[in-house]
Amino acid sequence: MSDYYWDDQMEYLRNTRWLYYNDDYLEFLVQRVWKIENPVDLIDYGCGYGYLGLKLLPLLPEGSTYTGLDKGKELIKQAREIFSKTSYQTTFIVDDIETVKVKRQYDVAISHAFLLHMTEPITVLQKMIESVVDEGRMICFEPHWIANMSNYELHGLDQSNIIQLGILQKLFEEDSKRNGKDGNIGMKLPILLSQLGLRNVECRVSDKVNFLDQNMAGSDKQKLFQALKEEGLGQKPNARQEVVTPLVERGLHSDEANRQYEAEDVFAREFNESSWLTYAPNMKITSGIVTR
């Protein structure tokens, strides 16, 4: 077992990334929004097994290259194996993104659900910018957790019984103050990139709404339900005190922590394969042009 957490999360990553985007929307972004018409050299910070490369390379002009950078040795091993079966020109680097030195040679730098795990995301953004040539582009696919948490509809329930938005917002903010990791960074990135000197900064939102439809084919329903569970929807909480004590340590009052436990418990009891549910991950996709 690897010492690096994400090295042991390969199955989770492969089973849940498809919940975020429709392929035609990514094609629209590449061709109509970012207007990438010539081959580009692309670097992916926190690439994992190369998810974004697999999604974007078929949409980019022929001759584009992909470099994946990640700390996870097992993830990079998987990425190399996956891309060895393709014709794309790829390079994979195992290194600590917070300390690695990257040459200024890329046309596009990207991240996907990566910056939220960084204790100093602005420092990492600066490193990403420094790896991009003049007039190159930065693209960050990052979450805004509180928007994500508001994008559920579990049929037959008041959503306030399963999602305590005010409590969660406070919890996310307290976590960010304590350790620098910000699950709401997606909504802050347009501001941060502009302040770091990028121009033509704009932000989009992911398009996919997952619908657990009781009239869909059984195999499709089972696949979607399992992916949603792996994504964390309706996970059964541990014993009350095992949940409440850490929440208090993270900044909640005891009554808030207990309300959060009760909401998680209701969600876990009510959500099953026979449920009607809609869920939109609501990823924020921020892009800007690097100028010096």
Instruction: Give residue 264's pLDDT.
Output: 98
In a domain, 247, yes or no: no
Instruction: Give residue 1's pLDDT.
Output: 53
Query: Across the strands, what pairs with 199?
Result: 289
In a domain, 156, yes or no: no
pLDDT below 70 — which residues of the chain?
1-2
What contacts 239, CB < 8 A, 6 or more positions away? none
In a domain, 174, yes or no: no
pLDDT in tens, 52-105: 999 999 999 999 999 999 999 999 999 999 999 999 999 999 999 888 989 999
SS3 sequence of the chain: CCCCHHHHCHHHHHHHHHHCCCHHHHHHHHHHHCCCCCCCEEEEECCCCCHHHHHHCCCCCCCCEEEEEECCHHHHHHHHHHHCCCCCEEEEEECCCCCCCCCCCEEEEEEECCHHHCCCHHHHHHHHHHCEEEEEEEEEEECCHHHHHCCEEECCCCHHHCCCHHHHHHHHHHHHHHHCCCCCHHHHHHHHHHHCCCEEEEEEECCCCEEECCCCCHHHHHHHHHHHHHHCCCCCCCCHHHHHHHHHHCCCCHHHHHHHHHHHHHHHHHCCCCCCEEECCCCEEEEEECCC
In a domain, 214, yes or no: no
Residue 28 is part of which domain span?
5-144+183-208+281-289
Q: What is the CATH number of the domain that holds 18?
A: 3.40.50.150
Q: Using CB atoms within 10 Å of the CB of residue 66, give its burial: 0 to 12 exposed, 13 to 18 middle, 19+ buried.
A: buried
In a domain, 55, yes or no: yes
Domain count, the chain: 1
pLDDT in tens, 163-172: 999 999 999 9
In a domain, 69, yes or no: yes
pLDDT in tens, 22-32: 999 999 999 99
In a domain, 63, yes or no: yes
In a domain, 130, yes or no: yes
CA dihedral 241, 184, 142, 291 (to 10 degrees): -150
Instruction: Give residue 70's pLDDT.
Output: 97
Instruction: Give residue 54's pLDDT.
Output: 97
